[in-house]
Copies of this chain bind each other. A is one copy, B any other.
């Protein structure tokens, strides 16, 4: 087994365990068991428990960024682009429920207990929104007076709160697409130059 495979295997196991028990309640031995390796093996690939979490953030958010950028690549209409972002973000929950749970529960507070860690990948992910908004303002689709720095947080926050609800409660009342479009629609009506 290649080195990177085992790294990956431990990361995947950590996602499962962190999702189930949370970072602090997760034991290294739980992760080792899930990954089918010895406890000590984990320390050949990671410096410590925090390092597993940080490494997981970087890798997985990196992948998410690559994917959403790919989806946006061939779209030029900023309205459509926001909708694509919304659908993609909510889709994550379907495709990778455990990962989303970990990101939601642990990512935010990581700044608190890991002082050195500046979450640059996360910032890169939400900055995609403000780039779209800027583009829409330049092209005349969006009102000039809206503040991209506020909108990116508001839009992301709206989506992520839905995602959180679904992650905790059993079943969504509405379909994912329906909800993504509903939220995009509200925002778009709020930021476009003229309402049709």
Contacts and interface: CB of A to CB of B under 8 A. Distances in A.
Interface residues of A, number: 44
Highest count of chain B CB atoms <10 Å: which of A146, A157, A159: A157
Interface in A124-149: 146-147, 149
A185 B174 contact: no
Copies in the complex: 2
Contact of A183 (B106, B108, B150, B162): B150
A21 interface: yes
Contacts of A153: 158, 161-162, 165
Interface in A172-186: 173-174, 179, 182-183, 185-186
A112 interface: yes
A157 B150 contact: no
A150 B164 contact: no
22 contacts: A24-B113, A101-B112, A105-B108, A105-B112, A108-B108, A108-B164, A111-B168, A146-B182, A150-B162, A154-B158, A154-B159, A154-B162, A155-B158, A157-B158, A157-B160, A157-B162, A160-B161, A161-B161, A189-B189, A189-B190, A189-B191, A190-B190
